[in-house]
Each structure stands twice: as structure tokens, then as C-alpha cells.
Amino acid sequence: MKKEMPIYDVLIVGAGLSGLAAAQRIDQSGLNYCVLEAASRAGGKVDSGTNAEGKYWLELGAQFVNTDMTEMVRFIEASGMSLVKTHAQPNSVFLHAKTMEPVGDLIEAVDEDLLGDLESSDLSLSEVIEELTDTTEEAAVAKSFITEEATVDTDYMSAESYIDVSERYTSEQDDLTHQASGQLSQVIAYLVDNLKVPVHFSQPVRQVEKQGDHYEVTTESGDRYRAKGLLLAVPPTVASRLSLPEDLHAHFAPLLSSFVDGSVIKVTLSYDQSFWTAVELEEEKLPVEGIVFSRFQGLSISDSSKEGDTPRLTAFIGGDLAKDLAGQPASARQQFVLDRLHEVLGKEAAEYVDYRESIWVDHPFCGGGYSAQVHVDGIADAPEQLRQPFEKCVFASTELAEAFPGFMEGAARAGTFAAEQLIEQLA
Ligand SMILES: Cc1cc2nc3c(=O)[nH]c(=O)nc-3n(C[C@H](O)[C@H](O)[C@H](O)COP(=O)(O)OP(=O)(O)OC[C@H]3O[C@@H](n4cnc5c(N)ncnc54)[C@H](O)[C@@H]3O)c2cc1C
């Protein structure tokens, strides 16, 4: 006899941090559920790897937290790790690659002005930055810095939405103050292992249909799953490619298509010595936190070392520059990064002991950057609208978080929030 397909209370699509945090909350509620993940591993943009020789680990995706990111701190500690300080100090400086002068004050001033009254709501972020800065060079520095942070070029980003995202960063601290003492994959393993049910891996969801009072989901392999409630824990750009039932599509499509994918390449180099840690400025030696390039929009190089570990530099390449470099041979990309390092740090930059890159550009399931952003023609409050369930379907991803969008913390909080909304709908 054919086995009847079970009807779960909740189907969670995606086992990144938002999906796993949602699953943890649904688990506690006593509802039954099933988690479907497209990849063969959980974690999404949290991905720990090793250096080329496999001798030590590094983070290919997310890496840094601060102590206001309380959900992540809780997960890190619950998974048996502790927080370790990075080399960034309160007096660390961000330098302009061209002049090697600090640019922290300029970037802060642009951010503060942006958060002031914005007269028109349909301008691109680059247009607003140009209005707020005195010279083309200042505008180029600010745009480059923000392009790296947002992983989308400022020409494409809605200024209003960028301000909304900035306002949701509810911390006075820098985002790079701490790291976990071990691999972040340990957090993911902890979350997966503590669920009452196993995650179904290699199950990319393709289509959602409505059958009476429940949803039926079909994966690439043709497997089908049914549930009363649906929690889509995937980035909005990725969700926009799912086939949804007519009424869900009509409600969600304009919101989901308001986002543009980010693009990022992360390159980590390790060294025997951190030769870059101090810069002589006005007879004072100040620790260098990072260097931003105005000639290459979206490129920053940061000190990614943490206390008691191998000294490291990371090149974060965001936006169109990342897209362009992703299309080039690996050797050309490496030469580009080494040339830029040489330009600002001299010949010692070539004495690295290890080089590892991770390319996220056009990732089919995670989006291509740290997060997606609302584009110029998009609905500026799409994140807020997407946070609300429609029927018994709700979205969760870092982009939608009430606090810390774009970060792991945002993903964890968005997952818990969405789960609570759905639990209420199903009660
Ligand atoms: C290079 C890089 C560096 C970063 N650095 C930091 C950092 O230092 N600090 C920080 O806090 N954050 C950082 N981030 C951002 C952080 O990683 C993300 O904000 C967060 O992990 C997003 O989690 P999420 O669950 O919202 O989405 P994702 O991690 O994208 O998870 C989505 C999940 O859904 C799955 N999925 C997608 N489509 C389907 C489908 N059709 N069917 C089934 N499953 C599907 C995906 O495979 C994935 O597992 C970084 C990101 C990158 C890429």
C-alpha cells in the first residue's frame, strides 16, 4: 500500500543560521517540523575551511562578532567556544590606500549625515554620497567603503533603504571586535545536532503549491513534503526564484524582487609576523584596522588576526569589482590582490605563508554577498513587510532582521522572530 505523505506543522526551507534558529524555536514550541536544505551541509554563508595545506582553519564566510550580538555570543558559548578579541582597538585606524591618511572621520561624517533628514526618497546611495561630500575623492572613498560593507555598488542601492539598514545596526561597537575561539562550523553543528529531527540535506526546494489547507513543496529531485505552515529561511533574491502559489506570489513577488544580490570575494593571507600592525601618525603609533581603496571601488584590506592565532590579513572585495574578478582566472585574481597589498604595505606583503580565497559571487542558494540590498527601484520598506506572515507563510533571513541585518546575529534573530510569528498563526 502507498505510504501516506505526512503533514508537518511547519516546513522550514534553508538551514543557514536563520533556518536553524527558526528550527530551534519551533522545536521548543512542540510543533512538528521538517527542515529542507539545498546544500549537502548546513550553515549557508557560515562556512569554516582550512588553509591550502589543511594545517589550520579559517572562515571562508562569516567570521566576526561583537558583544552586543547576544544571540551569536550565546550560540558560540553553548557550542563550547569562547569569544576572543581581534587586534582591532578602540583607537585603530582605517587608512586611505592612496594617501595612507585616516579616513574614519570622513566615513563617520557621511554616515551621520546620511542618517539625518533625507529630502528625496528615490535617490541612489551614490547620488546622496556625492551631495554630502566635498570632493570627488572623498566621495570615492566613502562609496568604496560602503560598497565593501554592503557588497553592492552604491549606484544600485536605494539610499533610503541603506539608511534603514544602518539604523537597524543597534550597537555602538564596531562589528569586528571579536571572533569565536574555534571554527564557526561548531556553532552550526551544535544547532543541527540539538534539533529533535535531522535536517534533510541536498533538497533544493523548487516549487510551492497549495493543496486545500496545507502547502506542498517539491524539491529538485521530485520529492514532496506537506505542511500547514511554511517558513522560508532563504535570502529574498533566492526566494524570488521559487515558484509560489498564485496568491503568495501576488503578495510577495514585488517585495522579493525589490532586492539585488550582493557580490563578495574574501581572500585571507597568513603571515609569520604582523608587520602591518602599527602606523606612525603624528608621532603616535596607531594600530591599523584596515585600508580602503578609492581607485578600486569595494576593496578593503583588514587585519583579521585574533589574539593568540596566526597573523592574518583579509582582502574583502565587494560589488562589481568582485563580479569582475570572479570572472577572471584565479592567477589574475591573486596577482590583483598581491599588487594591491604591495602598493600599500610594501614588499613584506609578498612574504605570506598562505593564501586562500572564497568566492560567493552568484551563489545560487546563498546570494553572492554578505546579504542582499534593496535596489534603487525597490520598495524601501520591503524588509519590514517581508517580516509579516501572509496566510501561513513567513520569510526569515538576515536581510529582514529588526537588529543587525546583514550579519549572523541578524540571521539568528530573524529566524527566531519568524518562527514566533508562525507559531502564533498556527495556534
Ligand atoms: C564572505 C562573507 C563574510 C561575512 N562576514 C561576516 C562577519 O564577519 N560577521 C557576520 O556577522 N556576518 C558576516 N557575513 C554575513 C553572514 O554570513 C550572513 O548574514 C548570515 O550567515 C546569513 O544567514 P541566513 O540564514 O540569512 O542566509 P544563508 O546563510 O544564505 O542561508 C540560506 C540557506 O538556505 C539554503 N537554501 C537556499 N535556497 C534553498 C532552496 N531552494 N531549498 C533549500 N534550501 C535553500 C542555502 O543553501 C543556505 O543554507 C559574511 C558573509 C560572507 C559571504
Find the 1 Cα to ligand 1 centroid distance in Å: 41
The atom of ligand 1 lying closest to the CA of 365 is 37
Contact, 260 vs 153, CB < 8 A?
A: no
Copy the grid coordinates of residue 106.
570622513
Predicted confidence (pLDDT) per residue in 7-27, tens digit: 999 999 999 999 999 999 999
User: For ligand 1, is residue 322 a contact (CB within 6 Å)?
Assistant: no
- What is the best residue among 13, 37, 41, 45 to mutate for testing ligand 1's pocket, by most ligand atoms within 8 Å of CB? 45
Report, as an integer, the average pLDDT of 363-379. Answer: 96
pLDDT at 121: 67
Copy the grid coordinates of residue 399.
536581510
Predicted confidence (pLDDT) per residue in 235-289, tens digit: 999 999 999 999 999 999 999 999 999 999 999 999 998 887 666 555 567 778 8
pLDDT at 243: 98
Characterize the bridge pairing of strands 7-13 and 224-232.
parallel
- What is the best residue among 71, 365, 413 to mutate for testing ligand 1's pocket, by most ligand atoms within 8 Å of CB? 365
User: For ligand 1, is residue 276 a contact (CB within 6 Å)?
Assistant: no
Distance from C-alpha of 15 to C-alpha of 23, rounded to nearest angstrom: 9
The atom of ligand 1 lying closest to the CA of 408 is 11
Predicted confidence (pLDDT) per residue in 375-406, tens digit: 999 999 999 999 999 999 999 999 999 999 99
The atom of ligand 1 lying closest to the CA of 404 is 11
Q: Is 145 exposed, middle or buried (0-12, 13-18, 19+ CB in 10 A)?
A: buried
The helix/strand/coil state of 348 is helix
pLDDT at 309: 82
pLDDT at 297: 97
User: For ligand 1, is residue 365 a contact (CB within 6 Å)?
Assistant: yes
User: For ligand 1, is residue 219 a contact (CB within 6 Å)?
Assistant: no
The superfamily (CATH) of domain 7-46+74-80+182-260+375-426 is FAD/NAD(P)-binding domain (3.50.50.60)
User: For ligand 1, is residue 405 a contact (CB within 6 Å)?
Assistant: no
Predicted confidence (pLDDT) per residue in 157-209, tens digit: 999 999 999 999 999 888 888 999 999 999 999 999 999 999 999 999 999 99
Domain map (residue ranges) of the chain? 7-46+74-80+182-260+375-426
Report, as an integer, the average pLDDT of 204-226. Answer: 96
Q: 368: closest CA among 211, 273, 262?
A: 262
pLDDT at 283: 59
Find the 38 Cα to ligand 1 centroid distance in Å: 12
Predicted confidence (pLDDT) per residue in 134-155, tens digit: 999 999 999 999 999 999 999 9
* 104-115 and 136-150 helices, crossing angle to 10°: 80
pLDDT at 51: 79
Predicted confidence (pLDDT) per residue in 294-348, tens digit: 999 999 999 888 888 888 999 999 999 999 999 999 999 999 999 999 999 889 9
With cut-offs at 50, 70 and 90, classify the pLDDT of residue 53: confident
Predicted confidence (pLDDT) per residue in 79-134, tens digit: 999 999 987 777 788 899 999 889 989 998 888 888 776 655 688 999 999 998 99
Report, as an integer, the average pLDDT of 358-385. Answer: 96
Distance from C-alpha of 14 to C-alpha of 192, rounded to nearest angstrom: 12
Q: 401: closest CA among 61, 135, 168, 99?
A: 168
For the whole model, what pTM was predicted?
Answer: 0.96
